[in-house]
Amino acid sequence: MSNHNIHYTITPSHPEAHIFTIRCTVKNPEPTGQQFQLPSWIPGSYMIRDFAKNIIRFKATDNKGNNLDVSKRNKSLWQVQACTTAITIEYDVYAWDLSVRSAHLDTTHGFFNGSSVFVEVVGQADKKCNVTIKKPSGKQYKKWRVATSLETLESELYLFGLYQAENYDELIDHPVEMGEFDLGTFNVNNIQHDIVLTGKHRADIPTLCADLKIICQTQADFFGELPDITRYVFLTMVVGEGYGGLEHRSSTSLLCSRNDLPLKDQPQTNEYRNFLGLCSHEYFHTWNVKRIKPEAFQPYNLNKEVYTEQLWAFEGITSYYDELALVRSKIITPLQYYEMLGKTITRVLRGNGRNKQTVAESSFDTWTRFYQQDESAPNNIVNYYAKGSLIALALDFEIRKATDNTKSLDDVMRVLWQDYGMKKIAIPEKKIEQIASNIVGHSLQSFFNDYLYSVKDIPLQSYFDLVGLNLKSYLSHSVDDMGGNKNKEENNTASFTILDARIVSSTLGAKLSHVYDNGNAQTAGLSAGDIIIAVDNVKVTKATLEKIIQSYCIGSILLVHAFRRDELMAFKVILKTSNDVNTYYLEIDAAATNEAMINKNNWLKT
């Protein structure tokens, strides 16, 4: 059946118990004893996850079916006894992680990333391999199909059966969905693009396909061409509450909420715009990070952390263009784009962590900090996606300014694609800074020193002047006010700050999930995890806490009762006004010059 040296078979053997069974036959194993290894992390999600912990059985046999000894060398590495014939290993994987990063199987569908299920044949990672994807046995699975961008050797798409990959790196870069899914198809530059929806939904697939087609086309035109793909697949798992995406070389896995998707003949919602932003983000990664990639990722060492300071470029620039592509595609209006930008600015400027950690440090330490956020995250770390996207915006405008609007960040991206990504040359640290400097014709090092390697705030207004936008700000006290919108300011009647904490509901009262630096709650000694049950001896809940506190005057001293470790504690909270603004939005400058209007049209391609 298989003429390659390595052949995997994956069977959803017990969907009700969330078990995939994998067999791997190696025709020419290492004669002194073949080793097998599973990755500890998945590219695009920078955290050690030790996928091998889900392998619950592992055995090996020779070509006559005799058992071979297997010993474990480390948490993710198996050693099979020396054998000169072909060997077959068999193991089970427990798949019960409903995320885009691992594997999930039940009686309704199956999903896996190769990095969670296929062990690498050590020493033969560069070899071609075949994979047989099997259907679960039983009548109830009769209608199941397979969706993946892995190259199929079957006569049609979406069938169970034989697939193949050029090497191990490719094998684990095509996630696979199986089940009864809905499908939409469109073409970009004559390449088939599919969107696959698993889970209960009422989405209007023609609208989804029409919008995605325009976004994908905008990006293909931006780079001048599609990368070397034969198909592209948006694998989408629809759930009640969820959000996530992971990029791959010719597909992406997405997790979204039912309410994010468009309904037939209904107006476009904010949630849907955010979902399109997510699709746009992952699609942009097909160039930026899957092919234009940092040196540290070529090749990936999936056994341990690999370090780069460049994630601001791979995630931040991607985040900048994911929304810009929506307005350039005319999927959203410029006003809707400014609202999105205002929210990002609000998110960045609200976090005190931006004064303590540089974006380069956040990128380097992502393994233990950004990907392992605790209650102190807003105080202690900076988000390299959000601040990275503002650095990208500032860099874009810096280049436009310096070149009299003849060049932009778009040109940097095209150089990165043509001179590096397309030629499979990885990007050394600091190379992007040099390329940008070359394009403007003078060194931009002080720009990068300020915003990338130190914690200076970006002078955003000086850049927005160029396109006739005013950055406005105000002090908001509403937990739900994420910024971006002038109307919220007008409705914001409260005149003093509340607790300076993020509040979630709890069965007992109002729980503090995050307590911000130097705010009223922190000054009074309240901590994340405390459950506030009463203010001035009156019971409160999450719903009533904000209102009750706002009914007191500035300078009032409140008696706050809260549980910590089940102990009832009393705190004196002094209601201080913060003079700091914390919420931002963009307004069109009515007095903007003609030149600014031209610059704006150039930027948004309107």
| Min CB(363)–Zn ion separation in Å | 12
Are 545 and 513 spatial neighbours (Cβ–Cβ below 8 Å)?
A: no
| Min CB(188)–Zn ion separation in Å | 20
What angle (nearest 5°) sits at the alpha carbon of residue 368, between those of residues 365 and 371? Answer: 95
- State the burial class of residue 433 (Cβ atoms within 10 Å of its Cβ: 0-12, 13-18, 19+): buried
Stretch that binds Zn ion, among 45-53, 231-239, 315-323, 512-520 (CB under 5 A): 315-323
Stretch that binds Zn ion, among 55-63, 70-78, 310-318, 432-440 (CB under 5 A): 310-318
| Min CB(318)–Zn ion separation in Å | 5
| Min CB(235)–Zn ion separation in Å | 16
Helices (H), 367-505: 377-380, 386-402, 409-415, 431-440, 445-451, 460-464, 486-491
Helices (H), 492-585: 520-524, 542-550
Task: Name the residue nearer to Zn ion (CB basis): 315 or 365.
Answer: 315
| Min CB(250)–Zn ion separation in Å | 16
**Going residue by residue from 384 to 413, which x/- string records binding to Zn ion, judged by CB under 5 A?**
------------------------------
Q: Maximum CA pair distance of the chain?
A: 84
- State the burial class of residue 192 (Cβ atoms within 10 Å of its Cβ: 0-12, 13-18, 19+): middle
With CA atoms as reference, report the closest residue to 100 among 243, 196, 220: 243
Are 333 and 327 spatial neighbours (Cβ–Cβ below 8 Å)?
A: yes
Task: Name the residue nearer to Zn ion (CB basis): 315 or 433.
Answer: 315
Assign residue 562 a region: left if phi > 0, alpha if psi is -120 to 50, beta otherwise? beta
Sequence letter at residue 494 = A
Per-residue DSSP letter, 45: B
State the sign of the Cα–Cα–Cα–Cα dihedral 235, 143, 238, 184.
positive
Are 414 and 438 spatial neighbours (Cβ–Cβ below 8 Å)?
A: no
Task: Name the residue nearer to Zn ion (CB basis): 107 or 373.
Answer: 373
What angle, rounded to 10 degrees, do the helices at 334-350 and 270-285 form? 80
| Min CB(76)–Zn ion separation in Å | 25
Task: Name the residue nearer to Zn ion (CB basis): 409 or 469.
Answer: 409
Task: Name the residue nearer to Zn ion (CB basis): 452 or 471.
Answer: 452
> How far apart are alpha carbons 530 and 53 in whole angstroms?
34
Task: Name the residue nearer to Zn ion (CB basis): 276 or 545.
Answer: 276
Per-residue DSSP letter, 582: -
| Min CB(249)–Zn ion separation in Å | 14
| Min CB(320)–Zn ion separation in Å | 11
Q: With CB under 5 A, what is the number of residues at the site for Zn ion?
A: 1
* Bond prior to 267 in cis (omega within 30° of 0): no
| Min CB(282)–Zn ion separation in Å | 7
Stretch that binds Zn ion, among 162-170, 311-319, 432-440, 541-549 (CB under 5 A): 311-319
What angle (nearest 5°) sits at the alpha carbon of residue 460, between those of residues 382 and 346? Answer: 50
| Min CB(362)–Zn ion separation in Å | 14
Q: Give the pairing of strands 19-26 and 35-37.
A: unpaired
| Min CB(312)–Zn ion separation in Å | 12
> How far apart are alpha carbons 415 and 439 in whole angstroms?
9
User: Taking CB under 5 A as the criterion, which residues in 463-492 touch Zn ion?
Assistant: none
Torsion (CA) 401, 404, 409, 415 in degrees, nearest 10: -140
Stretch that binds Zn ion, among 60-68, 126-134, 308-316, 394-402 (CB under 5 A): 308-316
Residue 294 CB neighbour total at 10 angstroms: 22
Please provide the distance, in angstroms rounded to a whole number, between the alpha carbons at the two ends of the chain.
55
Q: Among all residues, whose Cβ is closest to Zn ion?
A: 315
Task: Name the residue nearer to Zn ion (CB basis): 309 or 315.
Answer: 315
DSSP string, 28-74: S--TT--EEE--SSBTTB-S---GGGGEEEEEEEETTS-EE-EEEEE
Task: Name the residue nearer to Zn ion (CB basis): 11 or 280.
Answer: 280
Tokens of 599: 């610059």
Stretch that binds Zn ion, among 2-10, 296-304, 313-321, 520-528 (CB under 5 A): 313-321
Task: Name the residue nearer to Zn ion (CB basis): 46 or 118.
Answer: 46
| Min CB(248)–Zn ion separation in Å | 12
Backbone angles phi, psi at 39, to 5 degrees: -60, 155
Stretch that binds Zn ion, among 50-58, 179-187, 307-315, 349-357 (CB under 5 A): 307-315
> How far apart are alpha carbons 361 and 368 in whole angstroms?
11
Task: Name the residue nearer to Zn ion (CB basis): 133 or 452.
Answer: 452
Stretch that binds Zn ion, among 108-116, 137-145, 225-233, 314-322 (CB under 5 A): 314-322
Strand, coil or helix: 370: helix
| Min CB(311)–Zn ion separation in Å | 9
Task: Name the residue nearer to Zn ion (CB basis): 315 or 465.
Answer: 315
Task: Name the residue nearer to Zn ion (CB basis): 315 or 396.
Answer: 315
Task: Name the residue nearer to Zn ion (CB basis): 18 or 293.
Answer: 293
In the complex, the residues that contact Zn ion under the rule CB under 5 A are 315
